[in-house]
Amino acid sequence: MENKAIQGGEFLIRDTKIQDIFVPEEFTEEQKMIAQSCHDFIKSEVHPVINRIDDHEEGLMEKVLKKAGEMGLLGVSIPEEYGGFGQDFVTSMMASDVMGAGLSFSVAYSAHTGIGSLPIMYYGNEEQKQKYLPKLATGEFLGAYALTEPGAGSDANSGSTKAVLSEDGQYWILNGQKMWITNSGFADVFTVFAKIDEDRVLSAFIVEKDTPGFTLGAEENKMGIRGSSTRQLFFNDAKIPVGNLLGKRGEGFRIALNILNLGRIKLGANVIGASKNAINLSVGYANERKQFRSLLSTFPAIKYKLAEQVIRAFANESTVYRISKNIENAVKMYIEQGIEKGQANVDAQRNFAIEAALIKVYGSEMLDYVVDEGVQIHGGMGFSAETDIETMYRDSRINRIFEGTNEINRMVVSDTLIKKGMKKEIDLLPVAEEVWNEYKQLEGKPQLSSDFHERNTQYVKNFKKATLLMTKYAIEKLGRKISKEQEVLFNLADMMMQLFVAESTQLRIEKMEKILGMDISIHKDILNTLMYESAEIIRKAAADEIMNIADDADKSALRKAIDHYLYIDSFDLMESRRRIADMLIENNQWVFSNYYIF
């Protein structure tokens, strides 16, 4: 457990063993059955009616959600004593992954099973859990989460919704407004954040839909996820029973942040299913459409796009399940230490806030790439509102705003990691100092192993050194001002994100061959290409930082070190991409990881 339950952010300063990560190829038969149930539900119950859902057919989204509840798909994470399945964190992430193919339905599903239910599961008292969780697990109640206000988006704690205790002490009197609230049109139970009296920080309340003084605005007309219900909430002397305070007074901001961590990592999982759906649509069209008397799938330009879709989606999938296992291991460790299960989950997710923010950014930008190229492969048809890929293109865009914008999340990645290092919660500064002491002596290209796995492990170690060097330089140069220099934080975040994704993919593929005994011939092409692309992304971020803040006297040595650390051996890049695309084209669907049958 010592090696497995690492601290969040330690991926930058320590090695990870292949036996300490989880890969999708290890799913149990029970987990595969759950994945298949989720896939079959999306295929049979959601896709046939998705256009009607997007047209807001009265009661349809609610009906489909309740049907998912009847099948047990809403209670995957809820403990058995409250009517759920009580599955572990990895399994709950798998469900989010597969259900992600459900377009706007997946947004409603994720909101209900995540931010709509888990605040009560993690922070509710026993009476609140007994009252609400069994109904949320079955779909008798549907849930929503109300944090954002017209004047409080990324700065959530600046909200102005107020709560005061009634004279008889029986109710909280709530006044204020919320906006962009998912599932609001049909939700039965809302977690609402407000400040009590003149408190500086938020508190959280459980609010039922029929509460006097609580009303809804009209449905928002959105660019994408149109089937998702999004309304404003208005509280005009709304009377909330005093027992519906969730957690302690003033604990709301902490609840909100911790739930956001969960929402971020679940979004990273959610886009896996969406990306595979888009890739299947892309290759299916490329295998049917002819131009110049040849199928689109025979053109090298189209193969490039298909291969890049696969590489990025596979890398995202690898990273999500690595993080999921990290969190699950931490939960188990905390429980063994005597921490209550709900609090153990909260603590584990807070511990990995850096990784949660990281995968939210990578996953949302990965999906944007996949659907954008999907539209391009479809050509003019991709611009038609009659095609699913057009819907997916519009639906994808919100993911870079959901759960904190990608700009906020990039700052969370680098700023949080630096602060952890400054507080000596992780050994960032001593390890960075070692790199700092060697960088001016580097000459030429590094000595690399001829063994495939050892060479890729060396690449990752060098990516870390490049990132540590630039982190150390930024800290030395900027000091406390670093938290204000957002461009530099973005540069560091992109370096950390890309090396973590590359390492996660490298570890997965090595485990597939060495421990699981699988054929990884095509996965070698995926990893070779990913390592090359990761090196170039890290190089660009490092070069930007050097241009932004480095003294002229330091620029030459820094660039020489970056060139050394980011050196990649030559390989046939073009043929690697073509082989990846050819496998996709031959099978006419995603075949690079199978834990359910398409």
Compute how many other C-beta atoms are within 10 angstroms of the C-beta atom of residue 87.
Answer: 20
The CA angle 498-319-451, to the nearest 5 degrees, is: 75
Q: Is 84 left (phi over 0), alpha (psi -120 to 50) or beta?
A: beta
The residue type at 217:
G
Cβ atoms of 596 and 36 within 8 Å: the answer is yes
Q: What is the Cα–Cα distance from 342 to 81, expressed in whole angstroms?
A: 13
Question: What secondary structure letter does DSSP report for 597?
Answer: -
Give the single-character DSSP code of 450. S
Q: At what angle do helices 300-336 and 353-378 cross, to 10 degrees?
A: 160
Contact of 477 with 485, CB cutoff 8 Å: no
- CA–CA separation, 188 vs 394, rounded Å? 28
413 and 357 Cβ atoms separated by less than 8 Å: yes
For the record, the structure tokens of 109 come out as: 């599903």
CA-CA-CA-CA dihedral for 401, 368, 106, 55, to nearest 10: 90
- Two structure tokens written together for 182: 């998912």
**DSSP category for residue 591:** -
Which distant-in-sequence residues (6+ apart) come within 8 Å of 183 by Cβ? Answer: 108, 111, 112, 116, 142, 143, 144, 228, 229
Catalytic residue among 403, 503, 510, 545: 403
Whether 364 and 271 have beta carbons less than 8 Å apart is answered as: yes
d(CA 572, CA 558): 29
Six-digit token pair at 592?
């690079």
Q: Give the DSSP H or E segment for 194.
A: strand 189-196
Measuring CA to CA, which residue among 148, 21, 26 is closest to residue 91? 26
| Active-site residue flag, 328 | no
- Helix or strand run (H / E) with residue 569: none
> What are the angstrom distances between the C-alpha of 424 and each of 371, 427, 431?
41, 6, 12
Catalytic residues: 403
